[in-house]
Structure 1
């Protein structure tokens, strides 16, 4: 029996969808047949735009901008079937040194904004006969200590909790799931982890032996957005290559201890 992953006729909004992991997600949704709208605070050079997508400028932390964005999507396409809350991130800062303003900004982008955009999308989806699907991009930082990005890790743990709650509140019309993403190779990988030698050393600690590709995250999102996942809601899907082995195990292996 064929199991087609077909999003033809669906309209998807991907926050932070023009670069990095978001671009991989957008590409996967386009490949599955969806009409994809990406958004970010900055404009996209038409020469760099992903084929099959349109782009909108929006600060997803601003309620008025989010309402206007969702309104434009519905006005242009007549519906909104899929929301992917991907926009997020945080610079490195030790918790003892970071200011309250810094923590507010990290929580605002990584927790408050996904809720804000989800609220606007849900209001549309609840009125559609076919409802909709919301996929929140979370992180392995929600599952383990996140030194240097403590507020980010806490925000992502909040996203996973939020996902479970919204899946109950907004059922049966809207399914809500999250994807806990591990290390992923993007155009910013070297900036975060160093050059090829450092990245290779990090990849050796991952059970699958490498970082994810953005399109691999996109495949998981496309599945969750599709009818193949019609009975999946409130789930946390791990996309981390097997996770992070215990530190003692990594030390043993580096010392060739049996």
Structure 2
């Protein structure tokens, strides 16, 4: 699963999952460019950083026009704050959808010519939030559901020159995990809900990205790869067990 000589762009690749993907691609031999609105917290040794707001269509077009080549595009930039639907107006929710769905479409379209010439691939970074109810992040979940469907349609329209797949990511332990799950005790409690007994590390997502970007996955397109440690234990099982114990 080597990527020697390939050029990869990772949006939002300066922190968290994106940084893990960028490091894994670089270790596999790719020349990696990461882009984000803000620079990385420390100088990068494995990739080049270029500033880019993926919601700015003109800036995105200029960014990819300036690239001499592109083999792998990872649409990782995204995210959303916890916000109940009724606690914000439609404009705020629309911005979440813009970042998590419209921006990957904008970026992919701008990169298409490069990818077609190189017979390259697109990797969408999806979420389990797109496959289940997501209270508190409903707009985000809806956008991720749309992203997965977009990837499947894109895989058909752009075949055979460009492969398109989705990494459907569950809970990941990053430098910002405490914002979502609390302190160490909170993280441990959340980890116990995962069948494999832990949250993913960014490197776990990176390893899957390397596989899908490599020739080992040359016949995989339009697929969604679940990276959630086995998913979530059904709540009714715990309820049934508690009932029997009483």
Q: Same fold (TM over 0.5)?
A: yes
CA contact (8 A) 1:27 1:50 kept: no
**Separation of aligned partners in 1, 2:113 and 2:82:** 35
Question: Which residue of structure 2 aligns with residue 242 of structure 1?
Answer: 230
CA contact (8 A) 1:80 1:124 kept: yes
**Separation of aligned partners in 1, 2:71 and 2:148:** 21
- Cα deviation for residue 228 of structure 1 reads 0.5
- Cα deviation for residue 254 of structure 1 reads 6.7
- Cα deviation for residue 59 of structure 1 reads 0.6
Residues 226/254 of structure 1: CA separation in 2 closer, same or farther (3 Å cut): farther
Does residue 59 of structure 2 align to residue 65 of structure 1? Answer: yes
Question: Which residue of structure 2 aligns with residue 18 of structure 1?
Answer: 14
Question: Which residue of structure 2 aligns with residue 33 of structure 1?
Answer: 29
Runs of at least 4 residues of structure 1 off by over 6 A?
none
CA contact (8 A) 2:53 2:60 kept: yes
**Separation of aligned partners in 1, 2:85 and 2:52:** 29
1:88-127 map, 5 Å: 88-126=78-116
**Separation of aligned partners in 2, 1:216 and 1:115:** 25
- The alignment partner of 1:60 has SS state of coil
**Separation of aligned partners in 1, 2:163 and 2:43:** 29
- The alignment partner of 2:164 has SS state of strand
CA contact (8 A) 1:205 1:250 kept: no
**Separation of aligned partners in 1, 2:183 and 2:209:** 29
Counterpart selection for 2:44 from 50, 54, 58? 50
Give the TM-score, by structure 2 length: 0.96
**Separation of aligned partners in 2, 1:96 and 1:183:** 25
Question: Which residue of structure 1 aligns with residue 129 of structure 2?
Answer: 141
CA contact (8 A) 1:60 1:66 kept: yes
RMSD: 1.5
Residues 254/138 of structure 1: CA separation in 2 closer, same or farther (3 Å cut): farther
**Separation of aligned partners in 1, 2:37 and 2:157:** 30
**Separation of aligned partners in 2, 1:59 and 1:257:** 54
Aligned length: 246
Give the TM-score, by structure 1 length: 0.92
- Cα deviation for residue 253 of structure 1 reads 5.6
1:157-236 map, 5 Å: 157-236=145-224
Residues 94/80 of structure 1: CA separation in 2 closer, same or farther (3 Å cut): same
**Separation of aligned partners in 2, 1:254 and 1:54:** 53
1:66-81 map, 5 Å: 66-72=60-66, 74=67, 78-81=68-71
**Separation of aligned partners in 2, 1:218 and 1:152:** 22
**Separation of aligned partners in 1, 2:245 and 2:185:** 23
- CA deviations 1:37-92 (Å, max 9, x no partner) are 000011235xx1331200011110111110111123x2xxx310000000000001
